[in-house]
Amino acid sequence: MINNRILHYLFRLILGGVFIWAGIIKITNPLGFAQDIANYQVFPQSLSFFLALFLPWIEVICGVFVITGLFLRSSSAFLSCILAGFLVLIIVTLIRGINVECGCFGGLGRQVDYKLLLTDSALLFFSLNIFLYRKPQSK
């Protein structure tokens, strides 16, 4: 993992900013987000609504924590789990050949494709680096 203080802060700003932005957009349209979740054809309708109500708030809170440094390890671990789960969902969707928008940014979302897989892989790399980061020791 990268152990550079400046990159660590940059990763925190990018990861936190992305999750705050995505979460706020989803919070403003929970029914649309519930439909986006249902379009993956993986979760039952009731779970889609539950996720649409609570997941965006968790994304925003964890994003704020990552940027501010509060509960940094736990919030970056949680975001890593969300990203890993979404990567699995993307792969399953691609294998099944389902043509669906990701729902990541509400109406600004894009199709599930290999570019989305690469983007989320980069975000997972950032979150894992944040989780595993150790401050360099002073000599």
Q: What is the pLDDT of residues 30-83, one digit of tens each?
A: 999 999 999 999 999 999 999 999 999 999 999 999 999 999 999 999 999 999
- Residue 137 pLDDT exceeds 70: no
The residues near 69 (Cβ < 8 Å, ≥ 6 apart) are 12
Kindly state the percentage of the chain with pLDDT values over 70: 96
- Residue 27 pLDDT exceeds 70: yes
Could you tell me if 45 and 1 are in contact, meaning their C-beta atoms sit under 8 angstroms apart? Answer: no
Nearest to 120 by CA among 132, 105, 131, 107: 105
The pLDDT value recorded for residue 92 is 95
User: Chain-centre distance of CA 66, in angstroms?
Assistant: 12
pTM as predicted: 0.91
Nearest to 36 by CA among 21, 54, 52: 52
The pLDDT value recorded for residue 103 is 87
